[in-house]
Chain A
Amino acid sequence: MALERLAWLTGPVFERELRTASRRRWGYFLRFAYLAVLTVYVYGVWRSRVGPYRSMDARSAYQMAEVGRAITSDLMDFQFVLLPLLAAVMLSGSIGEEVRRRTLGTLMVTPVSGLRLVLGILLSRILQLALLAAISLPVLMVVRAFGGVDWSRVVGGVALCLTTCILCGSVALVVSTFLRRAYAALPATAAVLVAAQIAHVYVCEALEGSAFHRIVLLANPIAAMESFGLWNRYGVYPSTALLINVPLCLGLSALLLAWAGRRARKIGLRVAMGELRPTAKWERVMRPRLFRKRSEADPIRRITGLPMVWRERKVHFGPSRFAAVVVAAVIAGTVGVFDYVGLFIRGADPDGSIFSGGCEMLFILAMLATMIQAAPALASEAEAGTLPLLLASPLSRTSIVFGKAFGVFLRSFPVWGLLLAHVLLFVLFGRAHPSVLLQVPLVVMGVLVFLAGAGLLISAFARRATLATVAGLIVLIALLTGPFLVLFFDISPPEFDRLMLVHPLSQTEVLARDAQAAMTSALTRPRELTSLGVAGWVPTTILAGVSAALHVTVGLLLGWAAGRCLSVDRRNWGIWITQRDWFIQRRARAAG
Chain B
Amino acid sequence: MIEITNLSKYYGRLGAVVGLNLHIAPGEIFGFIGPNGAGKTTTMRVLATLLAPTAGLASIDGFNVVKQGREVRRRIGYMPDFMGVYDDLKVFEYLEFFAAAYKIPLRQRAAIIDGVLELTDLTGKRAALVDSLSRGMQQRLQLARVLVHDPKVLILDEPASGLDPRARIEIRELLKELKRMGKTIMISSHILSELAELCDRFGIIERGRLIFDGTLDEIRRRMGLQNKVRVRVADRPEEAAAVLAALPQVAEARVVQDTVMVTLADGSTDAPVAETLVRGGFRLLALQPEEVKLDDAFMALTEGKVQ
Interface residues of A (CB under 8 A from B): 293-298, 300-304, 306-307, 310-311, 314-316, 381, 384-396, 567-569, 571-572, 578, 581, 584-585, 588
Contact of B129 among A296, A384, A585 (CB under 8 A): A296
User: Judging by beta carbons under 8 Å apart, are A310 and B100 in contact?
Assistant: yes
User: Judging by beta carbons under 8 Å apart, are B80 and A385 in contact?
Assistant: yes
With the chains together, A301 CA to B129 CA distance in Å? 12
A296-B127, A316-B87 are contacts. A568–B100 as well, Cβ < 8 Å?
A: no
For A304, A390, A395, which residue has the most chain B Cβ atoms within 10 angstroms?
A: A395
The residue on B at minimum CB distance from A307 is: B100
The answer, yes or no, to whether B167 is at the interface (CB within 8 Å) is: no
Contact of B45 among A297, A307, A314, A568 (CB under 8 A): A568
The residue on B at minimum CB distance from A300 is: B92
Closest approach, in angstroms, between the C-beta of B85 and any C-beta of chain A?
A: 7
The residue on A at minimum CB distance from B8 is: A588
User: Judging by beta carbons under 8 Å apart, are B97 and A311 in contact?
Assistant: yes
> Which residues from chain A contact B10 at a C-beta distance below 8 Å?
584
With the chains together, A315 CA to B97 CA distance in Å? 13
A307-B100, A310-B97, A385-B84 are contacts. A585–B55 as well, Cβ < 8 Å?
A: yes
The 6 closest A-B pairs by CB, nearest first: A385-B84, A316-B88, A307-B100, A384-B84, A386-B84, A392-B78
Interchain Cβ contacts under 8 Å between A and B, 9 examples: A294-B129, A300-B90, A307-B97, A307-B101, A316-B87, A386-B85, A568-B45, A584-B10, A584-B55
> Which residues from chain A contact B82 at a C-beta distance below 8 Å?
385
The answer, yes or no, to whether B73 is at the interface (CB within 8 Å) is: yes
The answer, yes or no, to whether B170 is at the interface (CB within 8 Å) is: no
With the chains together, A581 CA to B8 CA distance in Å? 11
| A-contact 0/1 string along B20-58, CB 8 Å cutoff | 000000000000000000000000010011111111000
The answer, yes or no, to whether B283 is at the interface (CB within 8 Å) is: no
Instruction: Scan residues 57-112 of chain B and give those whose CB is less than 8 A from a CB of chain A.
Output: 70, 73-74, 76, 78, 80, 82-90, 92-93, 96-103, 106, 109
User: Judging by beta carbons under 8 Å apart, are A391 and B50 in contact?
Assistant: yes
The residue on A at minimum CB distance from B127 is: A296
User: Judging by beta carbons under 8 Å apart, are A385 and B96 in contact?
Assistant: no
Contacts A295-B129, A389-B84, A394-B73 supplied; 4 other A-B pairs, CB < 8 Å: A293-B129, A294-B90, A307-B97, A386-B86
User: Judging by beta carbons under 8 Å apart, are A394 and B103 in contact?
Assistant: yes
Q: How many A-B residue pairs have CB under 8 A?
A: 112
With the chains together, A571 CA to B16 CA distance in Å? 13
The answer, yes or no, to whether B265 is at the interface (CB within 8 Å) is: no
User: Judging by beta carbons under 8 Å apart, are B52 and A393 in contact?
Assistant: no
The answer, yes or no, to whether B128 is at the interface (CB within 8 Å) is: yes
User: Judging by beta carbons under 8 Å apart, are B55 and A393 in contact?
Assistant: no
User: Judging by beta carbons under 8 Å apart, are B83 and A389 in contact?
Assistant: yes
| A-contact 0/1 string along B180-204, CB 8 Å cutoff | 0000000000000000000000000
Closest approach, in angstroms, between the C-beta of A586 and any C-beta of chain B?
A: 10
The residue on A at minimum CB distance from B70 is: A394
> Which residues from chain B contact A293 at a C-beta distance below 8 Å?
129
Interface residues of B (CB under 8 A from A): 10-11, 45, 48-55, 70, 73-74, 76, 78, 80, 82-90, 92-93, 96-103, 106, 109, 126-129, 145
Contact of A388 among B80, B98, B127 (CB under 8 A): B80
> Which residues from chain B contact A585 at a C-beta distance below 8 Å?
53-55
User: Judging by beta carbons under 8 Å apart, are A568 and B52 in contact?
Assistant: no
The residue on A at minimum CB distance from B106 is: A304
> Which residues from chain B contact A572 at a C-beta distance below 8 Å?
11, 51
With the chains together, A303 CA to B50 CA distance in Å? 26
With the chains together, A243 CA to B99 CA distance in Å? 68
User: Judging by beta carbons under 8 Å apart, are A584 and B54 in contact?
Assistant: yes
The residue on A at minimum CB distance from B11 is: A571
Closest approach, in angstroms, between the C-beta of A255 and any C-beta of chain B?
A: 37
Contact of B127 among A300, A389, A390 (CB under 8 A): A300
For B50, B86, B100, which residue has the most chain A Cβ atoms within 10 angstroms?
A: B100
Closest approach, in angstroms, between the C-beta of B45 and any C-beta of chain A?
A: 7
With the chains together, A462 CA to B100 CA distance in Å? 28
A303-B96, A307-B97, A395-B101 are contacts. A568–B78 as well, Cβ < 8 Å?
A: no
> Which residues from chain A contact B50 at a C-beta distance below 8 Å?
388, 391-392, 567-569
With the chains together, A300 CA to B53 CA distance in Å? 41
With the chains together, A304 CA to B106 CA distance in Å? 8
With the chains together, A301 CA to B100 CA distance in Å? 13
User: Judging by beta carbons under 8 Å apart, are B97 and A588 in contact?
Assistant: no
With the chains together, A307 CA to B90 CA distance in Å? 15
With the chains together, A588 CA to B127 CA distance in Å? 52
User: Judging by beta carbons under 8 Å apart, are B97 and A303 in contact?
Assistant: yes
> Which residues from chain A contact B97 at a C-beta distance below 8 Å?
303, 307, 310-311
Contact of A394 among B90, B102, B128 (CB under 8 A): B102
Contact of B86 among A298, A306, A311 (CB under 8 A): A311
With the chains together, A567 CA to B101 CA distance in Å? 18
With the chains together, A136 CA to B30 CA distance in Å? 61
The residue on B at minimum CB distance from A311 is: B97
With the chains together, A584 CA to B12 CA distance in Å? 11
Closest approach, in angstroms, between the C-beta of A90 and any C-beta of chain B?
A: 28
Contact of B48 among A301, A392, A581 (CB under 8 A): A392
With the chains together, A315 CA to B86 CA distance in Å? 9
> Which residues from chain A contact B52 at a C-beta distance below 8 Å?
578, 581
Closest approach, in angstroms, between the C-beta of B17 and any C-beta of chain A?
A: 13
Closest approach, in angstroms, between the C-beta of B77 and any C-beta of chain A?
A: 9
With the chains together, A303 CA to B101 CA distance in Å? 10
User: Judging by beta carbons under 8 Å apart, are B102 and A393 in contact?
Assistant: yes
With the chains together, A293 CA to B73 CA distance in Å? 34
With the chains together, A533 CA to B237 CA distance in Å? 111
The residue on B at minimum CB distance from A396 is: B70
User: Judging by beta carbons under 8 Å apart, are A389 and B87 in contact?
Assistant: no
User: Judging by beta carbons under 8 Å apart, are B145 and A392 in contact?
Assistant: no
> Which residues from chain A contact B127 at a C-beta distance below 8 Å?
296-298, 300
Closest approach, in angstroms, between the C-beta of A572 and any C-beta of chain B?
A: 7
With the chains together, A193 CA to B70 CA distance in Å? 51
With the chains together, A310 CA to B98 CA distance in Å? 12
The residue on B at minimum CB distance from A315 is: B88
With the chains together, A340 CA to B73 CA distance in Å? 57
User: Judging by beta carbons under 8 Å apart, are A303 and B93 in contact?
Assistant: yes
Closest approach, in angstroms, between the C-beta of B103 and any C-beta of chain A?
A: 7
> Which residues from chain B contact A396 at a C-beta distance below 8 Å?
70
Closest approach, in angstroms, between the C-beta of B272 and any C-beta of chain A?
A: 55
User: Judging by beta carbons under 8 Å apart, are B80 and A389 in contact?
Assistant: yes
A316-B88, A392-B73 are contacts. A568–B51 as well, Cβ < 8 Å?
A: yes
With the chains together, A533 CA to B106 CA distance in Å? 57
With the chains together, A585 CA to B163 CA distance in Å? 40
With the chains together, A391 CA to B10 CA distance in Å? 21
For B54, B73, B84, which residue has the most chain A Cβ atoms within 10 angstroms?
A: B84
Closest approach, in angstroms, between the C-beta of A307 and any C-beta of chain B?
A: 4
Closest approach, in angstroms, between the C-beta of B149 and any C-beta of chain A?
A: 9
Closest approach, in angstroms, between the C-beta of A490 and any C-beta of chain B?
A: 45
With the chains together, A391 CA to B145 CA distance in Å? 14
With the chains together, A459 CA to B97 CA distance in Å? 23
> Which residues from chain A contact B78 at a C-beta distance below 8 Å?
388-389, 392
